Structure 1
Amino acid sequence: MSRIAVVLFNLGGPDSLDAVEPFLRNLFRDPAIIRAPALVRHLIGHRIARRRGPEARDIYRTIGGRSPLLGGTEAQAAALGRALEDLGEVEVAIAMRYWHPMSEAAARKIAAFRPDRIVLLPLYPQFSTTTTASSLAAWRSAAGAVGIAAPTHAVCCYPRAEGLVAAHAALIEPLLAAAAEAGEPRLLFSAHGLPKRVVARGDPYQWQVEETARRIVAGLGREALDWAVCYQSKVGPLAWLEPSIAEEIERAGRDRVPVVVVPVAFVSEHSETLVELDVTYRDHARAVGVPAYHRVPALGTHPSFISALADLSRGAFTASSVSGLDSGEGGRLCPGVHRCCPLAAQ
Structure 2
Amino acid sequence: MKYLGQESDFANSNAKTGVLLINLGTPERPVCPSLRAYLAEFLMDPRVIELPSLLRAILVRGIIVNVRSHKSAATYREIWTENGSPLMLNTVQLGEATAALLDDNFHVEVAMRYGEPSIEKQLSKLHHAGVRNVIAIPLYPQYSGSTNGSTFDAIGKAFRKQRWVPNLQFVSDYYQYDSYIKAIGDSILAHWQKHGRSQKLIMSFHGVPKKYIERGDPYQAQCEQSANAIADHLRLASDEWMLVFQSRLGAQEWLTPYCDQTMKALPQQGVTSVDVICPGFSADCLETLEEIKGENKEYFLKAGGQKYNYIPCLNDSPAHAALMAEIIRDHTRK
Amino acid at match of 2:258: S
Give the corresponding residue for 1:245.
Answer: 259
Give the corresponding residue for 1:28.
Answer: 43
Task: Give the alignment of 1:101-250 within 5 angstroms.
Answer: 101-176=117-192, 185-223=199-237, 226-250=240-264
Alpha-carbon offset, residue 177 of structure 1 = 5.2
Kept after mapping to 2: 8 A contact 1:116/1:151: yes
Gaps of at least 5 residues in structure 2 are 1-13
Amino acid at match of 2:88: L
Equivalent position to 1:256, from 253, 263, 271: 271
Q: Distance in 1 between matches of 2:315 and 2:125?
A: 24
Give the corresponding residue for 1:45.
Answer: 60
Give the corresponding residue for 2:21.
Answer: 8
C-alpha root-mean-square deviation of aligned residues, in Å? Answer: 1.8
Structure 1 outlier segments of 4+, above 6 Å: none
> Deviations along 1:92-143, whole A, 9 cap, x unmatched?
1222111111121112111111113111111000000000000111111102
Task: Give the alignment of 1:192-341 within 5 angstroms.
Answer: 192-223=206-237, 226-254=240-268, 255-319=270-334
How many residues are aligned here? 315
Task: Provide the secondary structure at the position in 1 that maps to 2:22.
Answer: strand
Kept after mapping to 1: 8 A contact 2:199/2:271: no
Task: Give the alignment of 1:54-93 within 5 angstroms.
Answer: 54-64=70-80, 67-85=85-103, 88-93=104-109
Q: Distance in 1 between matches of 2:80 and 2:328?
A: 33
Task: Provide the secondary structure at the position in 2 that maps to 1:52.
Answer: helix
Q: Which moved more, 1:244-253 or 1:288-297?
A: 244-253
Aligned-residue sequence identity (percent) comes to: 27
Q: Which moved more, 1:276-285 or 1:302-311?
A: 302-311
Kept after mapping to 1: 8 A contact 2:94/2:317: no
Q: Distance in 2 between matches of 1:82 and 1:12?
A: 23
Give the corresponding residue for 2:4.
Answer: none
Q: Which moved more, 1:301-310 or 1:193-202?
A: 301-310
Kept after mapping to 2: 8 A contact 1:252/1:258: no
Distance 1:166 1:225, change over 3 A: farther
Amino acid at match of 2:217: D
Alpha-carbon offset, residue 226 of structure 1 = 0.8
Q: Distance in 1 between matches of 2:313 and 2:331?
A: 25
Kept after mapping to 2: 8 A contact 1:180/1:258: no
Alpha-carbon offset, residue 314 of structure 1 = 0.9
Kept after mapping to 2: 8 A contact 1:179/1:293: no
> Deviations along 1:34-91, whole A, 9 cap, x unmatched?
2233333223221211111111011011123853211111111111111121xx3322
Kept after mapping to 2: 8 A contact 1:190/1:263: yes
Alpha-carbon offset, residue 295 of structure 1 = 0.7
Amino acid at match of 2:235: G
Q: TM-score, normalised by structure 1?
A: 0.86
Alpha-carbon offset, residue 252 of structure 1 = 2.1
Q: Distance in 1 between matches of 2:294 and 2:35?
A: 20
Q: Distance in 1 between matches of 2:151 and 2:145?
A: 9
Q: Distance in 1 between matches of 2:100 and 2:193?
A: 33
Kept after mapping to 2: 8 A contact 1:111/1:147: no
Alpha-carbon offset, residue 180 of structure 1 = 5.2
> Deviations along 1:283-307, whole A, 9 cap, x unmatched?
1111011121011110012222222
Kept after mapping to 1: 8 A contact 2:87/2:283: yes
Alpha-carbon offset, residue 20 of structure 1 = 0.8
Q: Which moved more, 1:249-258 or 1:280-289?
A: 249-258
Amino acid at match of 2:173: C
Q: Distance in 1 between matches of 2:128 and 2:99?
A: 17
Q: Distance in 2 between matches of 1:160 and 1:268?
A: 19
Alpha-carbon offset, residue 221 of structure 1 = 2.6
Kept after mapping to 1: 8 A contact 2:202/2:275: yes
Q: Distance in 1 between matches of 2:236 and 2:209?
A: 33
Kept after mapping to 2: 8 A contact 1:256/1:289: no
Q: Distance in 2 between matches of 1:142 and 1:230?
A: 35
Give the corresponding residue for 1:338.
Answer: none
